[in-house]
Amino acid sequence: MCNEAAMVGGKILEVGCGTAIDYPRLTRMGLEYSAVELTPKFIARARELYPGIDIHQGRIWDLPFEDDSFDVVYCRGVVQHLPPETYPEALDEMWRVAKTLLLVSTNRLFRKGKGITYREKGGPYVNHYVFDEFNSYVKALPRSISRYVSGFMRPEERERNLRSNLSHTIFIIYNLDYWRMNLQ
Protein backbone atom coordinates (compact mmCIF):
# COMPACT_ATOMS: atom_id res chain seq x y z
CA MET A 1 0.00 0.00 0.00
CA CYS A 2 2.80 2.39 0.85
CA ASN A 3 4.44 1.55 -2.48
CA GLU A 4 1.38 2.88 -4.29
CA ALA A 5 1.63 6.08 -2.25
CA ALA A 6 5.38 6.43 -2.87
CA MET A 7 4.87 5.95 -6.60
CA VAL A 8 2.50 8.92 -6.69
CA GLY A 9 4.65 10.92 -4.22
CA GLY A 10 3.98 14.40 -2.87
CA LYS A 11 1.63 15.21 -0.03
CA ILE A 12 -0.15 12.46 1.91
CA LEU A 13 -3.03 12.76 4.38
CA GLU A 14 -3.64 9.93 6.82
CA VAL A 15 -7.26 9.91 7.99
CA GLY A 16 -7.84 8.37 11.42
CA CYS A 17 -4.13 8.06 12.14
CA GLY A 18 -4.37 7.11 15.82
CA THR A 19 -0.91 7.73 17.24
CA ALA A 20 0.55 8.04 13.71
CA ILE A 21 2.48 4.77 13.69
CA ASP A 22 2.89 4.98 9.92
CA TYR A 23 4.40 8.49 10.05
CA PRO A 24 8.09 7.38 10.12
CA ARG A 25 7.72 4.97 7.21
CA LEU A 26 5.75 7.37 5.04
CA THR A 27 8.12 10.27 5.62
CA ARG A 28 11.15 8.04 4.94
CA MET A 29 9.55 7.35 1.56
CA GLY A 30 9.73 11.08 0.84
CA LEU A 31 6.05 11.84 1.37
CA GLU A 32 5.03 15.13 2.99
CA TYR A 33 2.83 13.87 5.85
CA SER A 34 -0.31 15.39 7.37
CA ALA A 35 -2.90 13.62 9.50
CA VAL A 36 -6.40 13.90 10.91
CA GLU A 37 -7.47 12.14 14.10
CA LEU A 38 -10.63 12.47 16.17
CA THR A 39 -9.30 11.41 19.58
CA PRO A 40 -7.37 14.09 21.53
CA LYS A 41 -5.26 11.60 23.53
CA PHE A 42 -4.04 10.00 20.28
CA ILE A 43 -3.15 13.42 18.88
CA ALA A 44 -1.22 14.27 22.05
CA ARG A 45 0.67 10.97 21.89
CA ALA A 46 1.52 11.45 18.20
CA ARG A 47 2.89 14.92 18.96
CA GLU A 48 4.91 13.47 21.83
CA LEU A 49 6.35 10.71 19.64
CA TYR A 50 6.93 12.91 16.57
CA PRO A 51 7.56 16.55 17.48
CA GLY A 52 6.59 18.84 14.61
CA ILE A 53 4.11 16.37 13.08
CA ASP A 54 1.32 18.07 11.10
CA ILE A 55 -1.75 16.58 12.81
CA HIS A 56 -5.25 18.04 13.09
CA GLN A 57 -8.30 17.09 15.09
CA GLY A 58 -11.19 16.27 12.80
CA ARG A 59 -13.78 13.78 11.63
CA ILE A 60 -13.68 11.64 8.52
CA TRP A 61 -16.95 13.25 7.36
CA ASP A 62 -15.66 16.82 7.63
CA LEU A 63 -11.96 17.07 6.75
CA PRO A 64 -10.52 20.55 7.38
CA PHE A 65 -8.82 20.90 3.98
CA GLU A 66 -9.49 22.38 0.55
CA ASP A 67 -10.45 20.21 -2.42
CA ASP A 68 -7.53 18.29 -4.02
CA SER A 69 -5.17 19.25 -1.17
CA PHE A 70 -3.29 15.94 -1.12
CA ASP A 71 -1.74 13.75 -3.78
CA VAL A 72 -2.57 10.69 -1.66
CA VAL A 73 -5.19 10.13 1.04
CA TYR A 74 -4.61 7.06 3.20
CA CYS A 75 -7.08 5.54 5.66
CA ARG A 76 -6.23 2.32 7.50
CA GLY A 77 -8.40 0.48 10.00
CA VAL A 78 -11.14 3.09 10.27
CA VAL A 79 -13.91 1.98 7.90
CA GLN A 80 -14.94 -1.05 9.93
CA HIS A 81 -15.93 1.27 12.78
CA LEU A 82 -18.18 3.49 10.67
CA PRO A 83 -21.93 2.93 10.48
CA PRO A 84 -22.64 1.66 6.93
CA GLU A 85 -25.05 4.51 6.23
CA THR A 86 -22.08 6.92 6.53
CA TYR A 87 -19.86 5.16 3.95
CA PRO A 88 -20.85 7.46 1.06
CA GLU A 89 -20.22 10.62 3.08
CA ALA A 90 -16.85 9.37 4.38
CA LEU A 91 -15.67 8.23 0.93
CA ASP A 92 -16.88 11.41 -0.76
CA GLU A 93 -15.04 13.53 1.79
CA MET A 94 -11.76 11.63 1.45
CA TRP A 95 -12.11 11.66 -2.35
CA ARG A 96 -12.76 15.42 -2.24
CA VAL A 97 -9.34 16.16 -0.71
CA ALA A 98 -7.49 13.48 -2.76
CA LYS A 99 -5.94 14.77 -5.95
CA THR A 100 -4.62 11.47 -7.30
CA LEU A 101 -4.98 8.42 -5.07
CA LEU A 102 -7.18 7.21 -2.21
CA LEU A 103 -6.02 4.13 -0.28
CA VAL A 104 -8.48 2.56 2.17
CA SER A 105 -7.49 -0.53 4.15
CA THR A 106 -9.88 -2.61 6.24
CA ASN A 107 -9.37 -5.65 8.41
CA ARG A 108 -10.23 -8.72 6.36
CA LEU A 109 -11.64 -10.54 9.36
CA PHE A 110 -14.58 -8.18 9.14
CA ARG A 111 -15.35 -9.10 5.57
CA LYS A 112 -17.49 -11.89 7.04
CA GLY A 113 -20.23 -9.47 8.05
CA LYS A 114 -21.30 -6.69 10.32
CA GLY A 115 -21.98 -7.03 14.00
CA ILE A 116 -18.90 -9.13 14.75
CA THR A 117 -17.23 -8.31 18.03
CA TYR A 118 -13.57 -9.17 18.25
CA ARG A 119 -11.43 -8.87 21.37
CA GLU A 120 -7.86 -7.75 21.04
CA LYS A 121 -5.72 -6.53 23.93
CA GLY A 122 -8.65 -6.94 26.30
CA GLY A 123 -11.10 -4.52 24.69
CA PRO A 124 -14.09 -5.11 22.44
CA TYR A 125 -13.70 -4.28 18.77
CA VAL A 126 -17.13 -3.90 17.20
CA ASN A 127 -17.50 -4.12 13.45
CA HIS A 128 -20.04 -2.22 11.38
CA TYR A 129 -18.28 -2.95 8.07
CA VAL A 130 -20.21 -4.54 5.22
CA PHE A 131 -17.81 -5.38 2.38
CA ASP A 132 -20.24 -5.50 -0.57
CA GLU A 133 -21.96 -2.31 0.51
CA PHE A 134 -18.67 -0.44 0.95
CA ASN A 135 -17.31 -1.75 -2.36
CA SER A 136 -20.42 -0.52 -4.19
CA TYR A 137 -19.80 3.00 -2.87
CA VAL A 138 -16.12 2.81 -3.90
CA LYS A 139 -17.17 1.90 -7.44
CA ALA A 140 -19.58 4.86 -7.53
CA LEU A 141 -16.93 7.53 -6.81
CA PRO A 142 -16.90 10.00 -9.71
CA ARG A 143 -13.94 10.12 -12.12
CA SER A 144 -12.24 7.16 -10.50
CA ILE A 145 -10.96 3.71 -11.27
CA SER A 146 -10.59 1.24 -8.43
CA ARG A 147 -9.61 -2.26 -7.47
CA TYR A 148 -9.25 -4.08 -4.21
CA VAL A 149 -6.67 -6.54 -2.98
CA SER A 150 -7.52 -9.05 -0.27
CA GLY A 151 -5.05 -10.80 1.97
CA PHE A 152 -2.59 -7.93 2.32
CA MET A 153 -0.58 -7.72 5.50
CA ARG A 154 2.23 -5.46 6.57
CA PRO A 155 5.58 -7.33 6.64
CA GLU A 156 6.17 -6.60 10.32
CA GLU A 157 2.75 -8.06 11.19
CA ARG A 158 2.93 -11.14 8.96
CA GLU A 159 3.68 -13.83 11.57
CA ARG A 160 1.09 -12.60 14.08
CA ASN A 161 -1.55 -12.15 11.36
CA LEU A 162 -1.04 -15.61 9.92
CA ARG A 163 -1.64 -17.14 13.37
CA SER A 164 -4.76 -15.07 13.98
CA ASN A 165 -6.17 -15.08 10.42
CA LEU A 166 -5.98 -11.29 10.29
CA SER A 167 -5.14 -9.61 7.04
CA HIS A 168 -6.43 -6.59 5.20
CA THR A 169 -8.49 -5.74 2.18
CA ILE A 170 -7.10 -2.66 0.44
CA PHE A 171 -9.15 -0.47 -1.84
CA ILE A 172 -6.92 1.34 -4.34
CA ILE A 173 -8.76 4.23 -5.97
CA TYR A 174 -7.09 6.40 -8.62
CA ASN A 175 -8.19 9.61 -10.24
CA LEU A 176 -9.24 8.44 -13.69
CA ASP A 177 -7.23 11.11 -15.56
CA TYR A 178 -4.03 10.27 -13.64
CA TRP A 179 -4.57 6.56 -14.25
CA ARG A 180 -5.07 7.08 -17.99
CA MET A 181 -1.94 9.23 -18.32
CA ASN A 182 0.40 7.24 -16.07
CA LEU A 183 -0.78 3.70 -15.50
CA GLN A 184 -2.96 2.49 -18.35
Q: What is the pTM of this model?
A: 0.78
Q: Are strands 11-15 and 70-76 parallel, antiparallel or unpaired?
A: parallel
Sign of torsion over alpha carbons 62, 64, 124, 135: positive
Give 88 or 66, the one with higher predicted confidence.
66
Q: Is the Cβ–Cβ distance between 20 and 119 less than 8 Å?
A: no
Which pLDDT tens digit goes with each residue over 35-71? 999 999 999 999 999 999 999 999 999 999 999 999 9
Q: Over pLDDT 90: what percentage of the chain?
A: 36
Residue 72: C-alpha distances to residues 15, 114, 166 (Å): 11, 28, 25
CATH code for position 87: 3.40.50.150
Give start and end residues of each alpha helix (H) in 12-164.
Answer: 23-28, 40-49, 87-97, 131-139, 158-164
Does residue 3 surpass a pLDDT of 60? Answer: yes
Question: Which amino acid, 146?
Answer: S
Domain that holds residue 94: 2-182
Residue 162: C-alpha distances to residues 83, 127, 154, 159 (Å): 28, 20, 11, 5
Print burial letters for 8-45: b (CB count within 10 Å at least 16), e (below 16): beebbbbbbbbbbebbeebeeeebebbbbbeeeebbee
Domain tally, the chain: 1
Which pLDDT tens digit goes with each residue over 120-175? 545 555 556 667 777 777 777 777 676 556 544 445 555 554 454 444 566 666 66
